[in-house]
A and B are shown apart, each in its own frame.
Chain A
Amino acid sequence: MSFSGAFKKVFRKRRLTLREKEAMYGRLFILPWLIGLVYFFIIPFITAVYYTFTKIRIGDSGLEFTFVGFENYLYAFTKDPNYIRTLTSSIGSMLYQVPVVVFFSMFVAYVLRDEFKGRTFARTIFFFPVIIASGVVITILKENVMGDVSQAASSTTLFRVENIRMILINSGVPMWLGQFIVNTISQLFDLTWRSGVQILLLMAALHNIPKSFYEAAVIEGATEWEKFWKITFPMVSPTLLVAVIYSIIDYFTDYGNQVMRMVVTQLNNGRFEYSTTIAIVYFAIIMVIILIVNRVIGRRVVYLT
C-alpha cells in the first residue's frame, strides 16, 4: 500500500450515521455549558477543596499557600465556638420550616387553581415574593417591619405572638405543639415570602393534570376529599419532590441563613481558607440531607410515564 493510500485510510472523511450525527449535534448544543462547567465550576471547585487544606497569606507576589492538612477542619469542629452551634440550629429549623413552606405552597396553589373572580389579582399578589424576596430589600424589610415592635407605632405590628401564646396555653394545648404553632406564626412573614417559586411550580403541575381524570372520578362518585388524595396528590408528587428539594436548597443558601452569614463574614475578614472550609462542610451536609430526602420521598412518588 502506498503512503498516500494509508494516509487516505486514516484521514478519510467518514460519513456519520444518523445516530452519530444526532449525538454530535446534541453535544454541539450543550458545548458552551460544558466548557463553563469545567472552567467555571469543576476546576474552581477542586481548587476550593485544595484551599481548605492550606493557610493563605497575602504576600508580596499575591496569595501564598502553605499546606497545613486538616487544620482548618479541626478548627471548625473543635475550636470555633460558633460553627457547630450555628450549623445544628440551622439544620434544626430547616426540619420544620421546609415542610411548612411546601404545605403552604401546595395549599395556595390549590386555592388559586380554579377559575374565580379576582383570580388574576390574587396571582399577581402571590407572585410578589418572587420579585422582592431574593434581594437585599427583604433583609431590610425583615429588620424594619418585623423588628420595629419597640417603636411608637406598635399598633401596626403584624402579629402579636405573645397574645397567641397566652391563648394557646390557656386552652390547654400541649407545650411543644403550642411552641411549634407560635414559632410558625412568628415566622409566617418569612414563610409566605419564601414560597413564591414553589407555588409557581405546583401551580404548573396542577394545570398539567388531565381534566378527564377528574371527570372519571366524578362519574364513579368520588368526593372532593377523595379526588384530592387519589388524583391530585399522586399526580403532583414528582413536583412536590422538586419543591421540597428546592425549599431545602433555598433555605440553606439564603443570605439570611446564619451559616451563610458566617461564610461571608469570614470571607470579608480575609480568612479565605476558613470561609471555604466551612462552606464546603456545610455544602456536603446539605448534599447528604438532600440525598436522604430524595431517597425517602422518591420512593413514594408516582410517575405516570
Chain B
Amino acid sequence: MEVATKSKSTKVARNFEMSGFGRAIFKKRLFSFLKNLFRYLFIIGMSYVLLYPVLFLISNAFRDKVDLLDPSVVWIPKHFSIESFKLANEILGYAQSIKNTLIILIPSVIIQTFICMMVGYGFARFRFKEREILFGILLFTIIVPMQTIIVPLYVKFRHFDFFYFGRLIGLFTGKPLTVNLLDTPWTFYLLNTFGMGIRSSLYIFIFRQFFRNMPTELEEAAKIDGCGPFSTFLRVMVPNATGAIITVLLFTIVWHWNDYYLSAMFFTDNLPLSVMLTILNERMNLLNNLVNANDIYLLRSSVLEAGCLLVILPLIVIYIIGQRYFTESIERTGIVG
C-alpha cells in the first residue's frame, strides 16, 4: 500500500517536472535567484565605493603622529589619538562657526521651503495667461549658474536700496538711501524670501510637480467649507504635502550647509563652517603656538580629514534621523518631469 502511494507521488512529481509549467517555475526561480545574487553583489560593491572615503577619513583622522609614518598601519590605527580633531576644532572655531552657519541656515531653510511651496502651488493650481511663459523662465533660472550674476549681486547687496525705493528717495534728498547688507545674513534671507535662494527654482519645480498630482476634490471640499485660496493652501495643502516638504527640507539643509561659494562672496567675517573648511589648509600655519613646525607638516592631511569629518558629522546625524521619512517620501512625491 505504502509503496503504491510512494510510486504514485514520484510519478506525479516527475510528470510535474516534465511539464512546461514546472520548467517555467524552475526557470523563474533560477532567474530570481541570479537576479538577487547579482543585486547583492552589486550593492556590496557599491557600498564599498561609497563608504570607502568616509571610512578612510575616520581611519586617518584618529591616527596618532607615530602611525602616520608607520607603513604597517593600513586601516586601524595602532595609537588612537584625537589630536587632529582638537587642532581642526581650534582652526575651524567649531562652535562659533556652527553658530554662524545656523544663523544663516535655520531662517533661510524655513523661508525658502515655505516660499517655494507657495510659488509651486501658484504655478500648479491656478490658470492665468502668462503662467506658461513664466514657468519657462523658471526653468531657465535653474540652468543659469549663480556665477554669471554674482558680481552685480555683490554690488547690489553692497549698496542695497530696498527695491529701488532708496533711489526714489534719493531723487528728492539728493543722496540715495542704501545699506550695506554684506556680512549680514540678510543677503540670504532676502534671496530666499523672493524665491532666488540656492536652488530655489528646483524646489519650486518639485513642489509644482507634487501639487499637480493632488486630487482637486481637496480644494473643492475646502471651498465649500468656506476657505479662501490662502487658507485652503495653509490648512489643506500644506498638511498634505509632508512628503514633498521633507524631501525639500533635506535638500535645502544640505545645500545651505555645504554652500561655500555664496557665503565666501558675501561674508568676510563671521564665516560659516563650510567657508572655514576651505581656508583650513591655509590657516594650518597658525598652529605654530600649539605644535611644532615638523608636526604641522606631518599632521596636515590628518587635520584636514578631521575637519571634513567635523563638518559633515551634523549632516550625517540629521540624515540618519530623517532618512526613513526621506526615502519613504520619495516614492510618494512624484518628482517626475
Which A residues contact B (CB, under 8 angstroms)? 19, 22-30, 32-37, 39-41, 43-45, 47-48, 51, 63, 108, 111, 116, 118, 120, 122-132, 134-137, 140-141, 144-145, 148, 152-153, 155-156, 158, 188-189, 192-193, 200-201, 203-205, 207-208, 224, 238-239, 241-242, 249, 252-253, 255, 260, 263-264, 267, 272, 275-276, 279-280, 283, 286-287, 290
Question: In the complex, are the beta carbons of A48 and B149 less than 8 A apart?
Answer: yes
**Chain A hits for B333, CB < 8 A:** 204
Knowing A153-B73, A158-B49, A275-B151, the reply to whether A35 touches B194 (Cβ < 8 A) is yes
Closest residue of chain A to B135 (Cβ to Cβ) is A30
Q: B217 interface residue, CB < 8 Å from A?
A: no
- Of B1-9, B12-20, B40-48, B167-175, the one touching chain A: B40-48
Establish whether residues A22 and B152, one from each chain, have CB atoms under 8 Å apart when the complex forms.
no
In the complex, are the beta carbons of A290 and B53 less than 8 A apart? no
Give the docked Cα–Cα distance between A276 and B151 (Å): 8
- Asked if A131 and B315 sit within 8 Å, CB to CB, the answer is yes
B147, A156: Cβ atoms closer than 8 Å: no
The answer to whether residues A208 and B122 also contact, given A23-B128, A111-B43 and a CB cut-off of 8 A, is no
Query: Across the interface, which residues of B come within 8 angstroms of A148, CB to CB?
Result: 301
Q: Which residues 9-31 of B sit at the A interface, judged by CB distance below 8 A? A: 31
Point out the residue from A28, A51, A134, A200 that lies within 8 Å of B258, measured CB to CB.
Answer: A134
Chain B residue numbers with a CB within 8 Å of A249 are 142-143, 145
**CB-defined contacts of B327 to chain A, threshold 8 Å:** 120, 123-124, 127
From 285 to 337 in chain B, residues with beta carbon under 8 angstroms from any chain A beta carbon are 301, 304-305, 308, 311-312, 315-316, 319-320, 323-324, 326-327, 330-331, 333-337
* B residues apposed to A, CB below 8 Å: 31, 36, 39-40, 42-43, 46-47, 49-54, 56-57, 60, 69, 71, 73-75, 115, 118-119, 121-123, 125-129, 131, 134, 137-138, 141-153, 155-156, 163, 190-191, 193-196, 200, 204, 229, 233, 251, 254-255, 257-261, 274, 277-278, 301, 304-305, 308, 311-312, 315-316, 319-320, 323-324, 326-327, 330-331, 333-337
* B334 x A204 contact (CB < 8 A): yes
**Bound complex: CA of A27 vs CA of B119, how far in Å?**
9
Is there an interface contact between B56 and A145, defined as CB atoms closer than 8 Å?
A: yes
Chain B residues whose CB sits within 8 angstroms of the CB of A140 once the complex forms: 277, 304-305, 308
User: How many angstroms from the CA of A220 to the CA of B126 in the assembled complex?
Assistant: 42
A23 and B331 form a contact (CB under 8 A): no
- Chain A residue numbers with a CB within 8 Å of B315 are 131-132
Contact across chains for B336 and A238 when beta carbons are under 8 A apart? yes
Chain A, interface SS category: helix
Q: Which residues of B contact A136 (CB under 8 A)?
A: 258, 260, 274, 277-278, 311
A253 to B49, CA, bound (A): 24
A37 contacts B122, CB within 8 Å? no
Chain B residues, Cβ within 8 Å of A280: 148
**Most B CB atoms within 10 A — which of A36, A120, A125, A145?**
A36
- What 8 A-B pairs are tightest by C-beta distance, nearest first? A26-B126, A36-B194, A29-B122, A135-B258, A33-B195, A242-B337, A23-B128, A44-B152
Other-chain contact of B31, A48, A224, A241, A272 (Cβ < 8 Å)? A224
Contact yes or no, B143 A287, CB < 8 A = yes
**A29-B312 contact in complex given A63-B155, A126-B50, A192-B46, C-beta closer than 8 Å:** no
Q: Can you list 10 pairs linking A and B with CB atoms under 8 Å apart? A: A22-B126, A25-B122, A29-B121, A35-B194, A123-B327, A134-B255, A189-B49, A204-B334, A207-B330, A255-B261
Given known A44-B156, A108-B46, contact A124–B258 (CB-CB < 8 A): no
Q: Which B residues are CB-close (under 8 A) to A23?
A: 126-129
| Whole-angstrom CA separation of A28 from B46 in the bound complex | 47
Q: Is the CB of B144 within 8 A of A137?
A: no
Q: Identify B43's interface contact among A33, A122, A156, CB under 8 A.
A: A122
CB-contact partner of A192 in B50, B148, B163, B334, under 8 A: B50
Cβ of A266 to closest chain B Cβ, rounded Å: 10
Q: Which of A39, A135, A141, A239 contacts B337 (CB 8 A)?
A: A239
Residue of B nearest to A283 (CB): B148
Compute how far the CA of A30 lies from the CA of B60 in the bound complex, rounded to whole angstroms.
49
- CB contact under 8 A between A116 and B151, given known A125-B46, A241-B337: no
Q: Are B134 and A34 in contact (CB-based, < 8 A)? A: yes
Complex: A124 Cα to B47 Cα, angstroms: 10
Q: Closest approach, in angstroms, between the C-beta of B69 and any C-beta of chain A?
A: 8
A276 adjacent to B260 (CB under 8 Å)? no
| Contact pick for A131, options B152, B312, B324, CB 8 Å | B312
